């Protein structure tokens, strides 16, 4: 799943050992009993080769207001608009994060013989357009994913690429569960310090919602961030700039809404 080099070393991937009910992982070390695997489009991995994304990490928690306002997500293919009330936005739950930004690598980069590439196009060809966000090896990022709730929305951010930025919207469809890649010695995300009795790393499942109407580049968001720091705008404290190294980051509702609004504006 997830463009500057990930410094937090939280990687995602690995299909080995995933349960029968688990979706494909972002970066897959493919050594699985295929007879037990659900039908899926193998385009992401081509001949069965694993694909991946950049490290996913988490950053500073943002306070959300008690707004009951719904978030409208429009499907560009059908024109249908769906409204979603983020699960975390409930009265008395101001500290909950309801929106996220998740980074993944859309371009090939091999680690231990495994292609870590996993862009949004790779997600779209998975069964039910769903994949597990495995390989995160940063404690803060892991903790953020453990906070995620089914139905919450996230931006799919392309990183470690020529032009980093937000490419699509995804949603959380399965809450935190054990990341199997930590136990696989042949997987780039293997952690010898972790055990099945006391696992250290967890992951969530994400599903494609829609592409952004236009690609929102890191450079464009940075200009707004600089401007908002002096004018108290919604992106003044955006984790993408205050904690840039994290590959899974929380977003305040005002940040999510503002970035979404950029779709209908010309790039600056």
pLDDT for the residue numbered 83: 52
Global pTM? 0.70
pLDDT for the residue numbered 170: 98
Mean pLDDT of the chain: 78
CA atoms within 13 A on the CB side of 74: 8
For residues 35-49, give the mean pLDDT. 42
For residues 53-75, give the mean pLDDT. 40
* Residues 188, 116 contacting (CB under 8 angstroms): yes
For residues 48-55, give the mean pLDDT. 42
For residues 34-52, give the mean pLDDT. 42
Render pLDDT for 217-259 as a digit per residue (tens, 0 to 9). 999 999 999 999 999 999 999 999 999 889 999 999 999 999 9
**pLDDT of residue 158 exceeding 80:** yes
CA atoms of 28 and 50, how far apart (whole Å): 4
Backbone angles phi, psi at 255, to 5 degrees: -70, -45
CA atoms within 13 A on the CB side of 260: 20
**pLDDT of residue 151 exceeding 70:** yes
Q: Which residues contact 48 (CB under 8 A, 6 or more apart)?
A: 30, 42
């Amino acid at each position: 799943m997830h463009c500057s080099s990930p410094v937090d070393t939280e990687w995602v991937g690995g299909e080995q050992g995933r349960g029968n009910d688990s979706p494909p992982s972002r970066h897959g070390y493919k050594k699985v009993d295929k007879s037990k695997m659900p039908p899926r489009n193998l385009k992401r991995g081509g001949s069965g080769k694993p694909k991946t994304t950049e490290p996913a990490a988490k950053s500073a928690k943002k306070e959300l207001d008690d707004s009951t306002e719904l978030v409208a997500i429009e499907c560009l293919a059908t024109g249908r608009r769906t409204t979603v009330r983020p699960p975390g936005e409930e009265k008395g739950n101001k500290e909950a994060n309801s929106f996220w930004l998740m980074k993944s690598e859309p371009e090939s980069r091999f680690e231990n013989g495994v292609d870590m590439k996993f862009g949004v196009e790779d997600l779209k060809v998975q069964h039910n357009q769903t994949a597990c966000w495995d390989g995160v090896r940063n404690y803060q990022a892991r903790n953020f994913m453990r906070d995620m709730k089914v139905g919450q929305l996230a931006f799919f951010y392309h990183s470690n690429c020529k032009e980093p930025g937000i490419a699509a919207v995804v949603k959380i469809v399965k809450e935190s569960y054990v990341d199997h890649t930590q136990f696989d010695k042949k997987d780039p995300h293997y952690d010898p310090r972790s055990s099945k009795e006391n696992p250290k790393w967890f992951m969530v499942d994400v599903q494609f919602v829609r592409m952004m109407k236009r690609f929102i580049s890191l450079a464009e968001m940075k200009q707004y961030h600089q401007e908002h720091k002096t004018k108290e705008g919604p992106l003044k404290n955006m984790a993408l700039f205050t904690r840039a190294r994290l590959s899974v980051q929380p977003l305040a509702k005002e940040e999510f809404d503002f970035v979404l609004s950029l779709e209908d504006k010309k790039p600056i």
